[in-house]
Amino acid sequence: MAAIEESGGSGKGDGKVRGKKMSTRVDMTPMVDLGFLLITFFMLATTMSKPTSMSLAVPDKTEKVDETEPLKASKVLTLFMGANDDVYYLDGIAADDDKAEASLKTTRYGYDLRSVIFASQKRINAANPKDEKGNEAFVVVIKPTPVSTYKNMVDVLDEMAITKSKRYALVDNLTESEKKLLGDKIEPKN
Amino acid sequence: MAKVRPKKHAPHTDMTAMTDVAFLLLTFFIMTATFKSNDAEITTPSSISQIKVPDDDIMVISIDKEGKVFFGVDAKPVRAAMLENIGQSKGITFTETEKAKFALQSSFGFPLNQLKPWLNMPKDQMPNVKQPGIPVDSTGASELADWVYAARKANSQLRIALKGDNFAKFPVFKDVLSNLQSQNINKFNLITGSEQAPAGFTNE
């Protein structure tokens, strides 16, 4: 491949025999080939995007908790994580209320759920004053069911971060009235 | 009449600049490379969280899509010490070769009684074995809890990260949680992929 160089020094004609001057040019092509081969390998073998992490703190089970006033249902949005990425929710109503069955609605994760949370947050915070500690009245109770997945849980926790709902609780037991209300929606299907 | 022809030259490009660029890129990729680990295939959900997963002093509990639980610790000395700790508490003695082989595994999913046969396999066969997962149950006193205890005994600075598959069912996660809570571990990281926050979202 290397270009043939014209022999130098022919025009001088002083009769001395000189060593031919060798070209100092090195053919770089194989080196470039090797370089790009290695680049390709490292590019494919590298994971570029580092995973992020959400921190999750759960209440201490061993700690004695003082009896507190039960939450008023009117301040609570309850989310039930159902199967097939469905979310059932009760907005400001308790599961043992007579009208609960009529007001149980279904939504999907993502934008739909976010709109539900925002609407409820706005309504409840407007209707109720902040408490003495300056916390907003709006509380979300998240109830996973046996048919929900880990992704669902992360999605809901993510929505909490997006909607800036500071007060939320992950409660993993359903009450009798809730079980009755949800019925076969939360039965595992095989 | 002889025509004047231009002298024919072999086409020759100067490759030096190209080599420079190639090796610059190569250096960059070598420096930043963190290799994909061939652990259990887990696709994590994504979140808008911006917190990076710490690189060192971390133990990762993974849940795959079938609900099998895997356990891994980042540093090799800690892995060996952890194996020794659990051997002591369960009355199992591990040989030096078993420890050395165990220290090379970034994560594993075997019940204690199946661990020894796995460690005694030839090295090249070890990745081919289907791992059954570490037993976890809701009582909070299963083998996973023992492993977590052994790991924390080996390195008390360990942080705990949970890495779940998109389709892992919630009850498995709950069992893992109860295993951790039984040891009074109430704060951990959930490893997720990163995603763009929706428009209009501001971080306060």
Binned average pLDDT, 10 residues per bin, chain A of 190 residues: 48 61 78 88 74 78 68 82 84 77 82 86 82 78 86 86 83 79 69
ipTM value: 0.73
Residue of B nearest to A3 (CA): B10
Write the residue in A114, A147, A150 that is nearest to B165 by C-beta.
A150
From B31's Cα to the closest Cα of chain A, the distance in A is 10
Annotated domain spans of chain A? 73-186
Q: Are A167 and A138 in contact (CB under 8 A)?
A: yes
Contact B47 A54 (CB under 8 A): yes
Write the residue in A3, A36, A164 that is nearest to B12 by C-beta.
A3
Q: What is the per-residue pLDDT for A8?
A: 46
Write the residue in B53, B165, B173 that is nearest to A51 by C-beta.
B53
Q: What is the per-residue pLDDT for A9?
A: 45
**How confident is the model over B108-154, as pLDDT tens digits?**
888 887 888 888 888 777 777 788 888 887 776 678 888 888 888 88
pTM of the model: 0.73
For residue B193, give the H/E element and its range: strand B187-194
> Which candidate in B21, B26, B50, B52 is best for mutational testing of the A interface (most A CBs within 10 A)?
B26
Class assignment of domain A73-186?
A: alpha beta
Looking only at Cα atoms, what is the longest distance across chain B? 104
CA angle B142, B144, B147 (to 5 degrees): 120
Q: What is the per-residue pLDDT for B37?
A: 57
Q: Are A87 and A105 in contact (CB under 8 A)?
A: no
Residue of B nearest to A152 (CA): B166
| Residues from chain B contacting residue A164 (CB–CB below 8 Å) | 204
Ranges of residues in chain B with a pLDDT under 70 are 1-3, 34-40, 140-141, 203-204
> Which candidate in B8, B9, B13, B15 is best for mutational testing of the A interface (most A CBs within 10 A)?
B15
Write the residue in A53, A144, A153 that is nearest to B161 by C-beta.
A53
* Number of helices (H), then strands (E), in chain A: 5, 6
Cβ neighbour number for residue A121 with a 10 Å cutoff = 18
DSSP A142: E
Q: Which residue has tokens 């880990």?
A: A150
Contact B186 A45 (CB under 8 A): no
Q: What is the per-residue pLDDT for B203?
A: 66
From A19's Cα to the closest Cα of chain B, the distance in A is 24
Q: What region does B200 belong to: left with phi over 0, alpha with psi -120 to 50, or beta?
A: left
Contact A148 B169 (CB under 8 A): yes
Sign of CA dihedral B176, B177, B178, B182: positive
